[in-house]
Amino acid sequence: MGLAQYAIVPVRDQWGVLHDGNVNGKYATKESAFEAAVAAASLALRQGHEVHVSAPGREDGEPDLGS
């Protein structure tokens, strides 16, 4: 099987999931985009693909939602 890569990317004031050269979805938070990417990655893994998921760290000035 192949490699399935998912990357969380900023899209204007929202977030998307980059996969196969296309940005999919419009998510209000980075976390919701990540959850969507992981769901898709889970299906790809089940199909036998190697899976990579990446998400950027917090930027300066971005709120710490864990506090």
Element (H, E) at 18: strand 14-19
Q: What is the pLDDT of residues 11-62, one digit of tens each?
A: 999 999 999 999 999 999 999 999 999 999 999 999 999 999 999 998 766 6
Q: Where are the alpha helices (DSSP H) in the chain?
A: 30-46
Confidence class for position 67, pLDDT limits 50, 70, 90: very low
Query: What per-residue confidence (pLDDT) applies to 1?
Result: 81
Q: What is the dihedral of CA 41, 47, 24, 32, to 10 degrees?
A: -30
